[in-house]
Chains A and B, each alone.
Chain A
Amino acid sequence: MILGRVIGEVWATRRDARLQRSKLLVVRPHALYEPAFGGLGGRHLVATDDVHAGVGDVVIVCLGAPARWSVGGNDTPVDAAVLGVVDHLDFEAARMSAPGAGPGISRPLSVALPGGAAR
């Protein structure tokens, strides 16, 4: 799973019959989470949502086949689903700030504060 922030919603009247019940959210993954298909359309993805997340929420997104099953079965046209809305996040800085670890602690924390200004 990956963490991201909900930045919008998609409305679609004409959609696959198996998607009729699901809300579609636009999620921007945090910089440290790179879904396999992230390079295709920039740094955001569209995910189905059955847990009633809203714009600005930090969410956990499940990718791949498990996301398909969440909306009814393996034959559904889905590859990302919101699994939950993050209330709180504990992050141990030192583990990520070792030499060669890439981006440091400040960015993971900034994305994970629900309702915070940082994105």
Chain B
Amino acid sequence: MIRGTVVGQVWATRKARGLDGQTLLLVAAQDAEGRPSGRLVVAVDVLDARAGEDVTVAFGSGARNVLRPGPDNRDLLCDAAVAAIVEGAG
């Protein structure tokens, strides 16, 4: 997973099956020091993260577990999802 900051939202009416009604956020990735690294990712969000909040984003096959946990989620087209909203980091 990476840490990042929510910087926006993407709207797409035409989407792959299984993603209807899901929120897609723009997340600016952070480097090791917590500064924006200059890279962006699009991530599915079911935790209702808001712009400006720090989040962790899970990538790859694991991201589908946010939408539908378990072995029968392989039909979901999703490779990045917000896994947690960060309240503090040491």
Could you tell me which A residues sit within 8 Å of B by CB distance? 1-3, 30, 32-34, 50-53, 60, 62-67, 69-70, 74, 81, 83-92, 95-96, 98, 100-103, 108, 112
Which of B38, B51, B60 has a CB less than 8 Å from the CB of A64?
B60
Interchain CB contact under 8 A, A101 and B38: yes
Interchain CB contact under 8 A, A60 and B79: no
State the CA gap A85–B11 with chains docked (Å): 8
Q: Nearest CB to that of A65 among chain B residues?
A: B61
Q: Which 9 A-B pairs have the closest CB atoms?
A: A102-B38, A84-B12, A84-B15, A1-B42, A101-B36, A91-B8, A95-B7, A88-B11, A85-B14
Which of A52, A90, A103 has a CB less than 8 Å from the CB of B14?
A52
Interchain CB contact under 8 A, A95 and B40: no
Interchain CB contact under 8 A, A84 and B19: yes
Interchain CB contact under 8 A, A89 and B10: yes
Interchain CB contact under 8 A, A60 and B37: no
Number of A-B contacts (CB under 8 A): 135
B84 at interface by CB-CB < 8 Å: no
Interface size on B, residues (CB 8 A): 39
Convert B1-37 into 0s and 1s, putting 1 for each residue whose CB lies closer than 8 angstroms to a CB of A. Answer: 0000111111111111001000010101000000111
Q: Which residues of B contact A87 (CB under 8 A)?
A: 11-13
Interchain CB contact under 8 A, B19 and A95: no
Interchain CB contact under 8 A, A3 and B61: no
A1-B41, A101-B35 known; A66+B63 contact, CB < 8 A: yes
Q: Which residues of A contact B38 (CB under 8 A)?
A: 32, 96, 100-103
